[in-house]
Chain A
């Protein structure tokens, strides 16, 4: 079969490969190159070496501040989402009636797109703040916590589903043995349930981490109008397309250099994730 299939390369693999080349491979290579140039449109690019990268850390102040904001946001979101999702999963694995109904409700926000989600919460948060005569742009803390709440609303249901699967995989014998030995509910939780769902914790931890770190749509819809609550992805977008204040059209190279750094950060997270999950597989 191998010989006859081999000739079919153009039929089986070329179409998908062509699409990958157009939307990813060629743009990726171009992006790497352009991060070392200065350009307004791609055709007029001039090689400037690492000048763009130097500018990110000197003249342009927004990259480091949005990186710090992204790190804070990611840290808070990962912890709140996973703690709440795990708690709800514990409540939903007690064999009570109506569990399916609650699961459906909690998971639903995950399907609504980032732009629509952002505007829903923008209306609610501005509605509440309206009673105090301000709106979300008044203080950067409002924007930050608004984003945290939104992210929790969107991702808790998703993580809850993964935790439920993890908890249901624990063999009944373990819990029964603990009950016979007279373990308290707290002991069962910390000595059996939590250690046994560690693989789910790794999955959910990294899912929330990458989702928070790369957040864009929700940020644009909720905080698009305030200057100081841009996470990394939105800051890169603004460097390219929003030429107000310091950012000039010839800064496209700087935007591209920021994108390269952003890519490297995400790649490091993905690499650590790969190692973490591989190690787990060896242990089991």
Chain B
């Protein structure tokens, strides 16, 4: 009896916490179907009657900000950067671990060192360099993300490769496999769990990153989703179309939440693995 009452108290607490956690998203949802006047006057009321705007805001938010273009840019940059990071850093890490000498050790520490340096340290100079090399475009930013993402990824792959016995690889070599075949046919399949973790951590970071794409691609036709949101909510003078902005926030969150609900298990596992190792 006593234990049961205690459980009810725990549930009440948990539901209260859950309500607090969901409230901000719920409030944005409410406001995305309100007319402009009611968003600024009564941000916390339920939209009824003349306050209800239907899906007008979504249509405006979608067309005004050229949302689909920003969404496509973000998607292309994230997919290609993450694929590149997983492929190149797993190859690099395998080489570093298997060819153990002073040279590869120095290279390994350069990768690890890049992890602890905050972005502001290279913010100005990397922007300068990227513009000098004419890399201020989509392929260029993908290359830049490869560099920024390589530190943590090389670190995580190396940690895992160290625990793999070399016998299988040696057998493959004796059978006449070239290093490339050995890597792709034997080593890479074993690396799959780490590859998933690396892919998830980098996707979350690159999809949400604001400053690098803003500095390199700007707010023009190549802008990414976070840049589009920031521009719409801070740029320009005069009356802002708050309804369209609320709809944009909802549209920006929606893909992440859907992705999360489908791949929850992998995401939580990946994030925890990354936290413990990083």
Which A positions have Cβ atoms within 8 angstroms of B?
Answer: 1-2, 4-6, 8-9, 11-13, 15-17, 19-28, 30-31, 34, 41-42, 88, 91-92, 94, 96, 98, 102-116, 119-124, 127, 130, 153, 157-158, 161-162, 165, 203, 207, 214, 216-217, 220-221, 224-225, 233, 236-237, 240, 252, 255-256, 259-260, 262-263, 266-267, 270
Contacts and interface: CB of A to CB of B under 8 A. Distances in A.
Given A19-B143, A25-B110, A111-B256, A262 B121 contact: yes
A116 B120 contact: no
A22 B98 contact: no
Nearest 9 A/B pairs, CB to CB: A113-B208, A23-B147, A127-B43, A19-B146, A19-B147, A27-B125, A27-B122, A12-B95, A16-B92
Contact of B121 (A11, A16, A123, A259): A259
A217 B210 contact: yes
Given A24-B148, A115-B229, A120-B28, A13 B117 contact: no
B21 interface: yes
A203 B278 CA distance: 9
A24 B122 contact: yes
Contacts of B271: 110, 158, 161
Nearest to A21: B147
B10 A28 contact: no
A62 to B, nearest CB: 14
A66 to B, nearest CB: 12
A23 B148 contact: yes
Contacts of B144: 19, 22-23
Size band of the interface chain B makes with A? 35 or more
A9 B18 CA distance: 52
Nearest to B103: A9
B95 A9 contact: yes
Given A13-B95, A165-B272, A123 B31 contact: yes
Contacts of B256: 111-113
Given A22-B147, A207-B275, A270 B10 contact: no
Contacts of B125: 26-28, 30-31, 34, 42, 256
Given A16-B154, A111-B257, A252-B124, 5 more contacts: A28-B122, A108-B260, A113-B207, A123-B27, A161-B271
A111 to B, nearest CB: 5
Contacts of B7: 94, 96
B92 A17 contact: yes
Given A12-B95, A16-B91, A111-B204, A102 B120 contact: no
Given A108-B21, A240-B123, A263-B118, A162 B275 contact: yes
30 contacts: A2-B98, A12-B92, A16-B150, A17-B107, A19-B88, A22-B126, A22-B133, A23-B126, A24-B151, A30-B125, A92-B14, A94-B7, A105-B21, A106-B18, A108-B21, A111-B204, A111-B260, A115-B229, A153-B24, A161-B268, A161-B271, A216-B119, A217-B226, A220-B230, A221-B230, A237-B123, A259-B118, A260-B121, A262-B118, A270-B116
Interface stretch (B62-70, B172-180, B190-198): B172-180
A123 B44 contact: no
B99 interface: yes
Given A108-B21, A108-B257, A233-B120, A115 B230 contact: yes
Interface in B1-17: 7, 10-11, 13-14, 17
Contacts of B13: 91
B188 interface: no
Contacts of A220: 210, 230
Given A16-B89, A203-B275, A114 B124 contact: no
B207 A124 contact: no
B98 A1 contact: yes
B116 to A, nearest CB: 4
Contacts of B230: 115, 119, 220-221
Nearest to A92: B14
Contacts of A158: 271, 275
Interface in B101-140: 104, 107, 110-111, 114, 116-126, 128-130, 133, 135
A240 B124 contact: yes
B268 A22 contact: no
Contacts of B241: none
A19 B107 CA distance: 13
Given A19-B147, A217-B211, A106 B21 contact: yes
B205 to A, nearest CB: 9
